[in-house]
Structure 1
Amino acid sequence: MLGVYWTAITVVCFSVAGVSGSKIIDGFEAVPHSRPYMAQLKITKGNQLYNCGAFLIRRNVLLTAAHCHGENIMAQLGGHNRDRNEASRQEIAVKKMIPHENYDRQNAKNDIMLLQLERNVRFTPEVKPISISSNCGNLWPGMHCSVAGWGRTFTGGTGSNVLREAEVTILDICQSEQLFNLTGRVICARGSGIKGACNGDSGGPLVCRNRWNDRVAVGIVSFRNTNQCEDPAREDVYTNVCMYWRWINRKFKTIAAE
């Protein structure tokens, strides 16, 4: 057993977005450390520094979006307020980036990436993995879920100091090949009003509850269909995790063999 946390789910979901990062719009501050699987990525690319989200699925592996790549990545787990020196925070460098081999940055197809950490995290009340979905038959339009991150709270703003979250609802618009040509491989979701994601939240999880009321990561924040995070008509698009179950499993075996 490789220690990956798979689960088959019956869910209710949330929303996010951002090809160049995303943020939580019109959400609220999360209860500190109530989402212990959340990670913030500090990414260096040339002379640029930017942030993405990610989530812990194994002691030394994070899952995020392929567009959150860079030359160097530092992962922070166990934190809530970025401006405070929290004793619960663990900072670990990324040893290896493993993006999907067929990732297409033009249309965000296969926007998924594993990050192998330099060392194992220390499991604590503030740092724990989340299960990921292995069953694609348990999502449907109208289900309620959630998304969280430290991204911007309005278009053009700065990132949030604290982890914020928003509730969203699964949409059926992603089943339209005319819109995204990614049918089955992505999930669309939207919150009430303008709730959802924006720049800085990319790579974070779309989380739903299974029939045992446990949280399950079903999607990865990928992109949105508008540049304005406050647009109430926008759709936030997530990589559909269950479609990559076998790919993730193969990569786990490669990591374990190193």
Structure 2
Amino acid sequence: WQKMLLLLLISSAFVLPWAGAGEIIGGKVVKRHSRPYMAYLDIKVSNETGTFHSSCGGFLICPDAVLSAAHCVRVEVTVILGAHNKNLREWNQQRIPVSDWVIHHKYSSVGFRNDIVLLKLEKKAKINKNVKLISLPSNDEGVTAGTTCSVAGWGLTSLDGHPSNVLREVELKVQNDRTCKQLFGNYQPESMICVGDGNSAKLTYKGDSGGPLVCNQKAHGIVSHGDKLCIFPEVFTRISYFEPWIQDHLRSWALQELPASPSSQ
């Protein structure tokens, strides 16, 4: 079946658009609330034809902060935490509007460079067994080629199927940077991670970008993009490169929330 799926992916690649990544193909349903850091982003989009909703993934790194992909962000975003079935109003879900966000100042939709956004929640999430934070790597902490990591999302389970109502996960292997350098002209090893190969017939795909690449219990990457003519490999944003940028903005938000000093009499 893996060979059949791989042939389907290759033949479909020439007719399907491919920008963002994220739909889980070849994965499995996760145990309910076993990925408590996962966030579902409900994104409201308005244009001349009307208003509709799109979605992305994200992950909770502070009680009031979520990381995702920059290309996901639109005018109005609501974060849903504690979800397993995104189509149900589960009692443990927390729906929190996004009050502010910071897209990296060097983000470019051409080649998806610096594809990272930090979302500030309108109020702090209630941390419990269903909603928890995930740790980030330090600035000098890398992930080596050959490492098996996992990616979760609510996207399609096949190229011609429907989005999954429940959270699914797939295991993907980190590749050598030269694999992506040969395919992506804008690939930057210092800020990107090359992930996935055709031998496993497992991948993320367009529609649910922003989810975390979890390696050794830390979020090392963010689902970013792939190539329309070649399903494998995919490119993830390398979080360790942006760790100083993330911490700077978290500190800035924390300072803004401090009470004002009393006026001197």
Distance 2:101 2:179 in 1: 30
Q: Which structure 2 residues correspond to residues 1-258 of structure 1 after superposition, within 5 A?
A: 19-46=19-46, 47-173=51-177, 177=181, 179=184, 180-190=186-196, 192-209=199-216, 215-226=217-228, 231=231, 234-258=232-256
Task: Give the alignment's TM-score, normalised by structure 1.
Answer: 0.85
Question: Within 1, Cα distance between the matches of 2:179 and 2:222?
Answer: 17
Shift of 1:137: 4.4
One-letter identity of the residue aligned with 1:39: A
Contact 2:21 2:208 in 1 (8 A): yes
* Distance in 2 separating the partners of 1:120 and 1:137: 28
Higher Cα Rg, which structure: 2
Contact 1:21/1:51 (8 A) holds in 2: no
Give the root-mean-square deviation of aligned CA atoms: 1.8
Which stretches in structure 1 are left out of the alignment for 5+ residues?
1-17, 210-214
Give 3-state SS (helix, strand or coil) of 2:66's partner: strand
- Matched letter for residue 140 of structure 1: T
Percent sequence identity over aligned pairs = 37
Distance 2:42 2:20 in 1: 14
How far apart in 2 are the matches of 1:167 and 1:249? Answer: 28
Deviates most, 69-78 or 45-54: 45-54
SS in 2 for 1:116: strand
Amino acid at match of 1:94: V
Deviation at 1:92, TM superposition (A): 0.3
Q: How many Å separate the matches in 1 of 2:189 and 2:125?
A: 35
TM-score, with structure 2 as normaliser:
0.82
Number of positions where the alignment pairs a residue of Structure 1 with one of Structure 2: 232
Structure number with greater CO (CA < 8 Å, separation at least 6) is: 1
Q: Give the number of the structure whose residues are more often helix, by fraction.
A: 2
Q: Which runs of 5+ in 2 are unaligned?
A: 1-17, 257-265
